[in-house]
């Protein structure tokens, strides 16, 4: 998840915390801070997240999870007044967007209390499997919101229009095949289709991307891409399989970027892709003219499997 480190961001965050948490009026920026969570994050049950804080005027602190105005449960007690705590979110916690973390003085709760902004806890995506009867390959699939997505890169051999990264078959075993947009659209398995730009936006909106960003090109959002990465918790498990560029007639960015086709072409003839990058929390929406090899994640026809 995204962790802000610059001083200006911490000042802004602290002002928000100060307003929302009824602190004593004489506290300063150096007194109390929560570095994670800061508010607005989506976290997934079963994942481990690092809570971090500093409260130098307390000898020891308690960490508690609140849902709205009610304390849900104590996370840990009698910790040092600064540090980190690895929190594995229990499966029994109900999904809600109204959680926040409160850190209190263990010895006198009335003396100092700091809290994060609200964040959301969600369940991991429901998973199943799909077998392509054309070659008997089986793929993990995952339900995210109201959409069933392939949770592995497609690997069906279309002949012309599909290839392995660097023309190395072992990379297809790991990352799936790379396709031209046309081959990806034509060779879809029965009951599935290449998602449109709007279907990607539906996914991104469910992940928390704002309406003000969603139609932009370039990198958008905050941690939506992180949730879709391997280990992000939702089960989409994007792989950094790279791409093929027709302009340079070469492959690139394996282990650094995941490139996924959409079925959409702009009015000026540019195919639209999505890019999830290592070290970047958002999702890039790119209009390209030089891609002729990207990974494919199909989405289920008619949304939810009956």
State which of 11-20, 64-73, 133-142 shows the largest mean pLDDT.
133-142
Please compute Rg for the chain using Cα positions.
22
Domain boundaries, the chain: 7-122, 126-300
CA separation for the pair 190, 2 (Å, rounded): 38
CATH number for domain 7-122, candidates 3.40.190.10, 3.90.1570.10, 2.60.40.1930, 3.40.50.170: 2.60.40.1930
pLDDT of residue 30: 42
CA separation for the pair 291, 275 (Å, rounded): 12
| pLDDT one-digit tens code per residue, 236-286 | 999 999 999 877 778 999 999 999 999 999 999 999 999 999 999 999 999
Q: Is 242 exposed, middle or buried (0-12, 13-18, 19+ CB in 10 A)?
A: buried
Q: Are strands 126-132 and 113-115 parallel, antiparallel or unpaired?
A: unpaired
| pLDDT one-digit tens code per residue, 76-127 | 999 998 889 999 999 999 999 899 999 889 988 777 778 889 999 999 989 9
Question: What residue has token string 């804080």?
Answer: 53
Residue 237 tokens read as 């498990």
Q: How confident is the model at residue 287 (pLDDT cuts 50, 70, 90)?
A: very high
CA separation for the pair 179, 176 (Å, rounded): 10
Give the pTM: 0.80
Bridge partners, residue 113, by sequence: 104
Region of residue 207 (left: phi > 0; alpha: psi -120 to 50; beta: else): alpha
CA separation for the pair 166, 170 (Å, rounded): 10
Task: Please count the residues of the chain.
Answer: 306
Region of residue 302 (left: phi > 0; alpha: psi -120 to 50; beta: else): left
| pLDDT one-digit tens code per residue, 169-178 | 999 999 999 9
pLDDT of residue 154: 98
Q: Is 129 exposed, middle or buried (0-12, 13-18, 19+ CB in 10 A)?
A: exposed
CA separation for the pair 23, 11 (Å, rounded): 15
Q: Answer whether residue 6 shows pLDDT above 80.
A: no
Cβ-defined contacts of 34-37 (< 8 Å, 24+): 34/101, 34/103, 34/114, 34/115, 34/116, 35/3, 35/4, 35/10, 36/1, 36/3, 36/116, 37/1, 37/100, 37/101, 37/116, 37/117, 37/119
Question: Three-class SS of residue 216?
Answer: coil
Question: Three-class SS of residue 243?
Answer: strand
- Name the phi and psi angles at 167, rounded to 5: 55, 30
Distance from the first to the final alpha carbon of the chain:
33
């Amino acid at each position: 998840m995204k962790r802000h480190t610059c001083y200006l961001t911490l000042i802004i965050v602290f002002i928000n915390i100060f307003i929302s948490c009824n602190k004593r009026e004489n506290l300063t920026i150096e007194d109390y801070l929560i570095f994670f969570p800061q508010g607005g994050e989506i976290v997934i049950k079963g994942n481990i997240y690092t809570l971090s804080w500093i409260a130098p005027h307390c000898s020891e602190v308690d960490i508690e999870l609140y849902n709205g105005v009610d304390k849900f449960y104590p996370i840990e007690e009698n910790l040092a007044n600064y540090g980190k705590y690895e929190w594995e979110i229990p499966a029994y916690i109900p999904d809600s967007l109204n959680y926040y973390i409160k850190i209190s003085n263990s010895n006198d709760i009335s003396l100092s209390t700091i809290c994060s902004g609200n964040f959301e806890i969600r369940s991991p995506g429901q998973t199943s499997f799909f077998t392509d009867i054309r070659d008997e390959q089986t793929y993990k699939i995952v339900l995210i919101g109201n959409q069933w997505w392939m949770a592995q890169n497609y690997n069906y051999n279309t002949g012309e229009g599909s290839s392995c990264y660097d023309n190395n078959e072992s990379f297809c075993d790991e990352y799936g095949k790379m396709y031209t947009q046309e081959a990806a659209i034509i060779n879809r398995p029965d009951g599935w289709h290449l998602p449109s730009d709007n279907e990607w936006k539906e996914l991104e909106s469910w992940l928390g991307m704002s309406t003000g960003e969603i139609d932009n090109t370039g990198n958008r959002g905050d941690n939506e891409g992180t949730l879709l990465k391997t280990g992000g918790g939702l089960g989409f498990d994007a792989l950094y399989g790279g791409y093929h560029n027709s302009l340079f007639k070469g492959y690139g960015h394996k282990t650094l970027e995941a490139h996924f086709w959409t079925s959409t072409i702009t009015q000026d003839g540019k195919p639209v892709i999505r890019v999830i990058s290592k070290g970047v929390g958002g999702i890039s929406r790119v209009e390209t003219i030089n891609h002729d090899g990207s990974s494919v994640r199909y989405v289920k026809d008619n949304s939810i499997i009956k």
